[in-house]
């Protein structure tokens, strides 16, 4: 599956600074676009969305008091609200920093004379792993329930619903994003914020899909030694794998070895990186994963007697043989078969046998 393009915007009239910032952002996997003045920056903001932007305060080398960067921040706030902006300046004041943060919605304000590559990389990583805003909700994430995280259950069906999706994420912003996407797609959702809460839900309830973050302790610094890392997410993958629940990982972890491990050892259905999260890709992946269990959902609509008849039919039994085996009349068998065909949306005995493939001798 091709990764979506994630863009960053660098606005600075100094080409040396453009090169420095572009290099760091490119190393983080972003496609970088640059602008040297207000007009060029405004045109880029209007033309396409960006995941983040780094904007210099002064964009006119001839005017030491120029503050066109604030106009760029305002344009981003109004026209690309999902973009997270960082203000970069050579002469910051406390009043200016407060204005950039509160009035123009900047993520932070950095001084050029104190700029450190390592610190900037940390900021970039935090921005890329933060929950992206959804279209239609430009300035705030959907509010969550006031109940404790483990009790949040935003479902349109009973808790034991066969179609329920388990979401395990310790970041409130990401929980809200995933819930909103799944809710709008009409999936019942159970939200959990920790390993313990999720494990309890897995032991008590039935799920047809799980969406799990690997790191549930808020730690982003992963040691090379697996024994020294917070492996709560991996432990949950063991449970979903054992229960045959298709699982999608949505995580800030980017190490190839960790991604390979999730696929190879834990059998995850898909691994989506938060840094390049795309809601359309997520929903497409959810639909594909749910298709794996759709036939099981259909079978659960059958009564116990209908399941017995379906199993015998799959074994090649005729209607009279089924009637004899279950001590019922042939007409009763026909009536049950009609109901089975309607519930499974099929028309032939061979199709019914195919639906029963892999079904255990007795489904409760």
**Under a CB-based contact definition with an 8 Å cutoff, are residues 154 and 144 in contact?**
no
- The number of angstroms, rounded, from the C-alpha of 102 to the middle of its chain's C-alpha atoms is 29
CA-based nearest residue to 45, from 17, 24, 16, 76: 76
Q: Hey, which of 6-15, 91-100, 183-192, 251-260 has the most confident mean pLDDT?
A: 6-15
297-355 maps to which CATH number?
1.10.10.10
CA-based nearest residue to 153, from 184, 179, 131: 179
pLDDT computed for residue 94 by the predictor: 67
Query: 153-154 and 189-192: which strand pairing?
Result: antiparallel
CA-based nearest residue to 57, from 44, 42, 71, 43: 71
CA distances from 351 to 16, 165, 214, 300, 345 (A): 67, 28, 40, 17, 10
pLDDT over 80 (residue 96): no
CA-based nearest residue to 233, from 169, 152, 166, 150: 169
Which residues neighbour 165 within 8 Å (Cβ) at sequence distance 6 or greater? Answer: 182, 187, 188, 189, 190, 207, 208, 209, 210, 211, 286
pLDDT computed for residue 225 by the predictor: 44
* Cα distance between residue 136 and residue 202, in whole Å: 33
pLDDT computed for residue 296 by the predictor: 58
* Cα distance between residue 334 and residue 276, in whole Å: 54
pLDDT over 50 (residue 363): no
Six token digits for residue 137: 């909700």
Q: 156 vs 40, which has greater pLDDT?
A: 40
- How would you list the strands of the sheet with 270-273, edge to edge? 153-154, 189-192, 165-168, 209-212, 247-251, 270-273
pLDDT computed for residue 147 by the predictor: 36
pLDDT computed for residue 325 by the predictor: 87
pLDDT computed for residue 308 by the predictor: 86
* Cα distance between residue 111 and residue 109, in whole Å: 7
Across residues 274-278, what is the average pLDDT?
A: 87
Mean pLDDT of the chain: 81
Percent of the chain with pLDDT over 70: 81
pLDDT band at 253 (very low <50, low <70, confident <90, very high): confident
- How would you list the strands of the sheet with 84-89, edge to edge? 31-35, 7-11, 52-56, 84-89, 108-111
Report helix, strand or coil for 267: coil
pLDDT tens, residue by residue, 19-66: 999 999 999 999 999 999 999 999 999 999 999 999 999 998 888 789
| Domain 7-128: CATH architecture, name and number where available | 3-Layer(aba) Sandwich (3.40)
**Where does CATH 1.10.10.10 sit in the chain?**
297-355
Backbone angles phi, psi at 37, to 5 degrees: -150, 175
**Where does CATH 3.40.50.2300 sit in the chain?**
7-128, 149-292
pLDDT computed for residue 17 by the predictor: 95
Percent of the chain with pLDDT over 90: 37
Report helix, strand or coil for 144: coil
Q: What is the DSSP string of 83-142?
A: -EEEEEESS--HHHHHHHHHTS--SEEEEGGG--HHHHHHHHHHHHTSPPPPTT-SS-PP
CATH superfamily of 149-292: Response regulator (3.40.50.2300)
* Cα distance between residue 107 and residue 83, in whole Å: 10
**Under a CB-based contact definition with an 8 Å cutoff, are residues 89 and 69 in contact?**
yes
**Under a CB-based contact definition with an 8 Å cutoff, are residues 132 and 82 in contact?**
yes
pLDDT computed for residue 303 by the predictor: 85
- CA 236-185-264 angle, to 5 degrees, is 30
Q: What is the DSSP string of 271-324?
A: EEEGGG--HHHHHHHHHHHHHTTHHHHHHTTS-HHHHHHHHHHHTT--HHHHHH
Task: Output the pTM of the full model.
Answer: 0.58
pLDDT tens, residue by residue, 333-356: 999 999 988 888 788 888 888 777
CA-based torsion, 14, 19, 25, 30: positive or negative: positive
pLDDT band at 185 (very low <50, low <70, confident <90, very high): confident
């Amino acid at each position: 599956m091709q990764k979506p393009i994630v863009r960053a915007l660098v606005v600075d009239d100094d080409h040396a600074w453009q090169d420095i910032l572009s290099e760091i952002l490119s190393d983080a996997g972003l496609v970088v676009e640059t602008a040297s003045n207000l007009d060029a920056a405004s045109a880029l903001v209007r033309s396409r969305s960006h995941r983040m932007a780094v904007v210099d305060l002064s964009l006119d080398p001839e005017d030491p008091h120029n503050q066109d960067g604030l106009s760029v921040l305002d344009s981003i706030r109004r026209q690309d609200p999902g973009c997270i902006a960082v203000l970069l300046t050579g002469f910051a004041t406390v009043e200016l920093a407060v204005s950039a943060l509160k009035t123009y919605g900047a993520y932070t304000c950095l001084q050029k004379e104190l700029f450190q590559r390592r610190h900037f990389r940390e900021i970039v990583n935090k921005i890329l792993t933060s929950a992206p805003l959804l279209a239609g909700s430009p300035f705030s994430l959907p509010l969550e329930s006031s109940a404790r995280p483990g009790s949040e259950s935003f479902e349109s069906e009973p808790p034991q619903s066969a179609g329920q999706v388990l979401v395990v994420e310790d970041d409130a912003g990401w929980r809200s994003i995933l819930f909103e996407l799944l809710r709008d797609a009409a999936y019942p959702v159970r939200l959990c914020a920790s390993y313990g809460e999720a494990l309890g839900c897995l032991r008590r309830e039935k799920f047809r899909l799980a969406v799990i973050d690997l790191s549930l302790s808020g730690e982003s610094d992963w040691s090379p030694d697996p024994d020294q890392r917070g492996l709560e997410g991996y432990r949950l993958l063991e449970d979903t794998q054992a229960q045959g629940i298709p699982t999608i990982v949505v995580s800030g972890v980017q190490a190839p070895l960790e991604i390979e491990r999730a696929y190879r050892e834990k059998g995850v259905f898909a691994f989506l990186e938060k840094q390049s999260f795309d809601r359309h890709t997520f929903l497409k992946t959810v639909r594909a994963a749910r298709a794996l269990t759709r036939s099981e959902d259909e079978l659960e609509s059958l009564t116990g007697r209908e399941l017995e008849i379906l199993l015998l039919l799959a074994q090649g039994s005729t209607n009279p043989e089924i009637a004899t085996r279950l001590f019922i009349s042939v007409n009763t068998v026909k009536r049950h078969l009609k109901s089975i065909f309607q519930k499974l949306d099929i028309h032939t005995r061979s199709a019914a046998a195919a639906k029963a493939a892999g079904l255990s001798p007795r489904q409760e």
